Structure 1
Amino acid sequence: MTLAPTYARYPVEFVSGSGCTLRDSEGNEYLDFLAGIAVNNAGHCHPKVVDAIREQAGRLIHVSNLFTTEANVSLAARLVERSFGVNVFFCNSGAEANEAALKLVRKFRPRGEIVVVHGAFHGRTYGALSATPQESKQAPFAPLVPGFRVVPPFAEAIAGAVGEGTAAVLLEPIQGETGVNIVPDEVLLAAREACDAAGAALVFDEVQTGMGRTGSLWAYEQTPVVPDAMTLAKGLGGGLPIGALVMGPKLADVFAPGDHGSTFAGGPVASAAAHAALDVIDDPALLAEVRSLGARLAEGLRRLPGVASVRGRGLMVAAELEREDAPELARRALLEQRLIINATGPSTLRFLPPLIVSPPEIDDALARLAALL
């Protein structure tokens, strides 16, 4: 055994991909409706992303954050221009972005509590795991980082938990890993109002919902709430690892030199890839198509036998099955129908296709799933 047994891997080895298609080592083609878990939003090996990586890798790969590079500085400016942000801290993953956010709000209000909600997932590093109130993930690694307060994702519960001793509320606008559960606008508004009243910060984890996944560049744009900071990763790099913490006016001046850092973060190649991914995704026509195709996928799923309900926004969709056999169904979809989806619970299937998916590919996925159901 050479790989640590931290993943329950399927017996498939992928060797190439393009658009929404992956090919295995035996030459079989698969329709990918998982996109590397919302990473390949621009599709596999998008020509613009590939060209940007090749061009940048041929000039400069790494210099460390003791210096600046044009690709990284301009990427920060681009994220600020397209959001509420003032400045950006770059890192390598969603968990790292959330760790940076936790340090940020703790310095903003020292020793303050961080309010999180049931059903959240913020990562597997210690701080991010401590903000993820799921017993199965936390229990083997206790004791965890202290200072987190867990409440139900209800307006009254969040409002009652936020006070003078609160540093921040950390929320996903749509809870992804626990089954694509949309946090209602009234809950987000309650969090915003409570944080404003208490002088606390509101942080959105947009690691999965960002980069066009919900039909707008950032999910918060479809809500009545603007956070004080947001964390990004997954689709940001077009397939390469990059994360970001975008900070608004309330938090922009909190970090000082030496407060935080990362050796590889925001490197020239990953930054170039992120620029290319934004070129593809930050397009009003494509984002409108994401909303349209998401509705097409959701409606098609509702018509399938054995589907009890469907929820989601844009191309971030979950189907709740009448029976608790979602993991087995996802396995059969892969091995029998060559359709890549995943299960986020006993009865929940999750669909995260590349955002460049076509209507015929949506219909093809539905037909393959129908053959199993």
Structure 2
Amino acid sequence: MIPHVLPTYNRADLAFERGEGTWAITADGTRYLDLGAGIAVNALGHANPDLVAALTEQAGKIWHVSNLYHIPQQEKLADLLVENTFADTAFITNSGTEAAELAIKMVRKYWDHKGDPDRHEILTFEGAFHGRSTGAIAASGAEKMVKGFGPLMPGFRHLPWGDMEALKAAITNRTAAVMLEPVQGEGGIRPLPDADLRLIRALCDQTGALLVLDEVQSGMGRTGKLFAHEYAGIAPDIMMVAKGIGGGFPLGAVLATEQAAAGMVAGTHGSTYGGNPLACAVGARVMEIVTQPEFLSEVNRKAGLFRQKLEGLVAAHPEVFELVRGQGLMLGLKCKVAPADLVRAGYAEQVLTVAAADNTLRLLPPLTISDAEISEAVARLDRAAGRLDV
């Protein structure tokens, strides 16, 4: 018989009752060092007291009113997003998938608004992950996501990841947009070089195409800057945000310039729950914390320490690991064994990690992880790898 919970996940035989910072704790008190953070969601750790306070205070006031009315908490979050980014405006969503859907709609509406509705092709890259909706899977084009769900939304062309020559050949003055992740997450923690991001921005400028960045996984301080594209010194026209922005509460956003959003007038998009007071109260507190220069400086310092120790781990297990890659605390261990085997070996050592494509193990700890926890994490990964050494 089919389970009451639709069986679309191969779930581990684990359940957690509570969390404390970097630790997820089962009902019997077993503590797991969480290097997955709910897939880069719990950016400030489990049960962060600042976020608990923000949520509790708002929960005692009002939870939901809908977007038929002004929502002060939503306006505060939008103000913080605009003040700290390239954007002129923001639409608050419940998830990254919803953000991707709006980003695609915004591109198409932009060209329709300019009187060129047939200009709708969006260029994307192999290995991309933009969510699980029909539009988002069409954007990625990966067989494992699209098989059985056709016919797919048209208007996407998929290019080899990181192939700038292919992009130069594909982009024209009929291209609507280029959409990509500055650091691929599901694709295997693959950062796009800064020079490539600058070239993509220049090609978009030359052809008039919009640049759409998906920073759902790489944003909110994950790479040591508020958003990963800042390293390249460029700015997108549209950007998707989610995961860490809510610190564990479902929340996302689409940020855009005034020009890119010009077609999105009243009635062109909506959300019943998006931008609700509970989510936005938490999101505003997250923004206040992660935008502090000292916070991002600490992320970079800890990232350097973690990476140094991971390089030693790779050297100690040459039959298991190939290399370390990534940026900030968005790190990947390229493996010579199946990453899923390492994930399972980690369970035995009470450490949580996340598998990804390109034979990569993702390490996405809370940005608040301590130096001692970094050392403990590497020790547990060392023991997990030892279980697989041949």
Q: Which bracket does the TM-score occupy, shorter chain normalised?
A: over 0.9
**Residue 60 in 1 paired to residue 62 in 2?**
yes
Which one of 321, 331, 351 corresponds to residue 307 of structure 1? Answer: 321
Deviation string for 1:112-161 (max 9, x for gaps)?
20010111111100101111121111122122100101112222221221
Q: Which amino acid aligns with 1:302?
A: E
Which one of 349, 353, 359 corresponds to residue 347 of structure 1? Answer: 359
2:158 maps to which residue? Answer: 150
Count the aligned residue pairs. 371
Gaps of 5+ in 2: 112-116, 386-390
**Residue 129 in 1 paired to residue 134 in 2?**
no
Q: Which moved more, 1:135-144 or 1:165-174?
A: 135-144
1:168 maps to which residue? Answer: 177
Matches within 5 A, 1:222-233: 222-233=231-242
Deviation string for 1:170-218 (max 9, x for gaps)?
0100000111000122321222111111111001000001110000111
For residues 204 and 258 of structure 2, the distance between their equivalents in structure 1, rounded to whole angstroms, comes to 15
Measure how far apart 1:354 and its partner are. 0.1
Which one of 371, 383, 386 corresponds to residue 371 of structure 1? Answer: 383
1:95 maps to which residue? Answer: 97
Instruction: Find the residue that maps to 2:278 and give its secondary structure.
Output: helix
Deviation string for 1:19-67 (max 9, x for gaps)?
1011112210111000000100011111110111111111010000011
Deviation string for 1:287-311 (max 9, x for gaps)?
1111121122222112121321110
Q: Which amino acid aligns with 1:235?
A: G
1:120 maps to which residue? Answer: 128
Measure how far apart 1:324 and its partner are. 2.3
For residues 18 and 196 of structure 2, the distance between their equivalents in structure 1, rounded to whole angstroms, comes to 42
Measure how far apart 1:346 and its partner are. 6.8
Instruction: Find the residue that maps to 2:324 and give its secondary structure.
Output: strand
1:203 maps to which residue? Answer: 212
1:259 maps to which residue? Answer: 268
**Residue 327 in 1 paired to residue 336 in 2?**
no
Which one of 72, 75, 90 corresponds to residue 73 of structure 1? Answer: 75
1:316 maps to which residue? Answer: 330
Matches within 5 A, 1:287-306: 287-304=296-313, 305=317, 306=320
Runs of 4+ in 1 over 3 A off after TM superposition: none
For residues 345 and 177 of structure 1, the distance between their equivalents in structure 2, rounded to whole angstroms, comes to 6
For residues 225 and 51 of structure 1, the distance between their equivalents in structure 2, rounded to whole angstroms, comes to 36
Gaps of 5+ in 1: none
Q: Which moved more, 1:278-287 or 1:311-320?
A: 278-287
Q: Is the 8 A contact 2:223 2:330 kept in 1?
A: yes
Q: Which amino acid aligns with 2:362?
A: R
For residues 41 and 199 of structure 1, the distance between their equivalents in structure 2, rounded to whole angstroms, comes to 35
TM-score (normalizing by structure 1): 0.97
- Percent identity between the two aligned chains: 43
For residues 81 and 280 of structure 1, the distance between their equivalents in structure 2, rounded to whole angstroms, comes to 14
RMSD: 1.2
Measure how far apart 1:249 and its partner are. 3.4
Matches within 5 A, 1:235-254: 235-254=244-263
Q: Which amino acid aligns with 2:332?
A: A
2:388 maps to which residue? Answer: none
Measure how far apart 1:325 and its partner are. 2.3
Q: Is the 8 A contact 1:325 1:346 kept in 2?
A: no
TM-score (normalizing by structure 2): 0.93
For residues 116 and 147 of structure 1, the distance between their equivalents in structure 2, rounded to whole angstroms, comes to 10
For residues 101 and 358 of structure 2, the distance between their equivalents in structure 1, rounded to whole angstroms, comes to 29
